[in-house]
Amino acid sequence: MVGKPTPLQLFWCAQTFLAGSSTVYLLLKRSHWVKLALPSGDLSPGFFRFRKRLGMIKSEGSMPRRKYCGGTDTLNGYFNDLFTWATTPKQTNSDFAPTLLALFLFVGHLGRRLYESWGISVFSRRQLLGPIEFIRVYAFYIGAGLTIIAEAPPLTGVASCASLDGLGLRHLLILPIFYFSSRLHHDTHIALAKLRRNKAGHIVTTDHKMPKGGWFDVMSSPHYFAELLVYTSIGLILGTSNVTYWWMVTYVFTNQFYLAYNTHKYYEGKFENYPKERNMFIPYLL
């Protein structure tokens, strides 16, 4: 990192440190965390617990797009003030068109995740977020939106939004990676939801069942691997010199590995004869 770091860069460094420390702690203990569960007769998550799906805040992706492309100060200047503070001192390491393409892909990713959370996924009764975790999830999507435009050049006019100058063959070759990772992410959530539904599509259980077939035959958590690829492909669109964004990718990798490790250990403890050839996170490697 060259020069004085911005508050946004420090935020991702702190997030990475927390996720990494938690991972190291579990690796040393050779254990996994226990998910928060409701009592067997309690059907309400209560005031201080939130369903996981509420963590998908699509508006936090659209605000950076409106700010960068339309020049608007949304929410009475809240976003503009936050952006100015979080990205000072200003660095410019991405061009107009790649930034707009990255924003388009990011908003599309959030829109798909919102649809999956509300319309596809069947959450376990253990899939609850406490208020602190809820705030962390919300902060991630705010930070991710800020990060995409953090090192972009300031717009000189709204007309710049229509310009394709700056996009080349490299950017076009990255789009199939984004599509592949998004499709893998989506298909994995469909497969996991089907484990809790009958052939008619009705939810029959919220318990965990061992997934099989497809990418599940080579790793325990294809969706965590796919999400890392989604954010990595967006980073390749922005360019390798975008310091703030790659700090965020470092956090995403650390956090997804943490989640994948826990899922893998949970499966090993729950299911007898769990396939030993399955990797935790990255196929044929990790």
**38 part of a folded domain:** no
Residue 123: phi and psi, rounded to 5, are: -85, 145
**11 part of a folded domain:** yes
pLDDT for the residue numbered 177: 97
Residue 197: phi and psi, rounded to 5, are: -125, 155
Give whole-number Cα distances, 126 to 29, 35, 93, 162, 257, in Å.
22, 6, 42, 46, 20
- Residue 273: helix, strand or coil by DSSP? coil
Both tokens of 63, joined, read 């605000």
Both tokens of 39, joined, read 């009592």
C-alpha–C-alpha distance, residues 171 and 235, integer Å? 11
- Residue 237: helix, strand or coil by DSSP? helix
Place of tokens 């919220």: 206
Under 8 Å between Cβ of 96 and 155: yes
pLDDT for the residue numbered 155: 60
pLDDT for the residue numbered 71: 56
C-alpha–C-alpha distance, residues 61 and 181, integer Å? 19
**20 part of a folded domain:** no
**205 part of a folded domain:** yes
C-alpha–C-alpha distance, residues 259 and 206, integer Å? 19
**21 part of a folded domain:** no
pLDDT for the residue numbered 202: 84
C-alpha–C-alpha distance, residues 229 and 236, integer Å? 10
What range does the domain containing 119 cover? 7-15+49-270
- DSSP secondary-structure letter at 153? P
pLDDT tens string for the chain (286 positions)?
A: 457 899 999 999 999 999 999 888 888 877 666 554 444 444 444 444 445 544 444 445 555 656 566 555 444 567 778 888 999 998 889 888 898 899 889 989 988 988 888 888 887 765 556 667 777 878 898 899 899 989 988 765 554 555 666 788 989 999 999 999 999 999 999 999 999 888 888 888 878 889 998 999 999 999 999 999 999 999 999 999 999 999 999 999 999 999 999 899 889 888 888 998 899 999 888 8
**36 part of a folded domain:** no
Summarize the chain as % helix, strand, coil (round to 5): 60, 5, 35
Number of structural domains (the chain) is 1
Q: What is the torsional sign of CA 21, 144, 107, 240?
A: negative
**280 part of a folded domain:** no
For 60, residues 6+ apart whose C-beta sits below 8 A from its C-beta are 110, 138, 141, 142, 144, 145
Strands (E) located in the chain: 50-51, 128-129
pLDDT for the residue numbered 220: 93
C-alpha–C-alpha distance, residues 122 and 124, integer Å? 7
**25 part of a folded domain:** no
Both tokens of 93, joined, read 């390491």
C-alpha–C-alpha distance, residues 282 and 286, integer Å? 5
pLDDT for the residue numbered 258: 92
